[in-house]
Amino acid sequence: MYTRRSVLFGGAGLLAALGATGVVRAGAKSAGAETFEVTKTDAEWRALLSPAAYRVLRREGTEPAFTSPLDHEKRAGTFSCAGCGLPLFSSKTKYDSGTGWPSFWRPLANAVRTKPDRSHGWVRTEVHCRRCGGHLGHVFKDGPRPTGLRYCINGLSLTFTPAKA
């Protein structure tokens, strides 16, 4: 019998293995045919981002579970897109989902967009930055109140700015 936990952690192990080997969907491009305010050539993105952040943000990769320091970030502040700097999530909506990735129950207003992701044989909802199209992660309907949503976000796709004292 499959439980939510066995699926999450079994899937996390598989995703971690895939992430560790750098396997991503062939020809993946963030957010399909949408247009974005911030656009760069592939060479410009590669120069701007670390290889790991490039693989996540621009090739829809997944970082290994339990590897992001941002999963354990507890300070007040703002999580922004590592590609373009757009503020995406407030620390006020962050929570520990136990999945190994930073999780939030709501993004900031007009920060993210979503699209269907059928890459693993079932439909998930991909989350990407509305300004640069960078792949952030996925949103699931198993989060806490008040939204019931879990925005499961790759730490490599984010930067964190602590709130000013």
> Token digits for 140?
């699931």
* Cβ-Cβ contacts under 8 Å for 77 (sequence gap 6 or more): 91, 160, 161, 162, 163
Give yes or no: 152 in active site.
Answer: yes
87 preceded by a cis bond (ω within 30 of 0): no
Q: Sheet harboring 87-90: ordered strands across?
A: 87-90, 77-81, 158-162
By residue count, the chain amounts to: 165
Which of 70, 72, 149, 52 has its CA nearest to residue 105?
Answer: 149
Catalytic-labelled residue, pool 81, 129, 132, 152: 152
Q: Give the active site residues.
A: 152
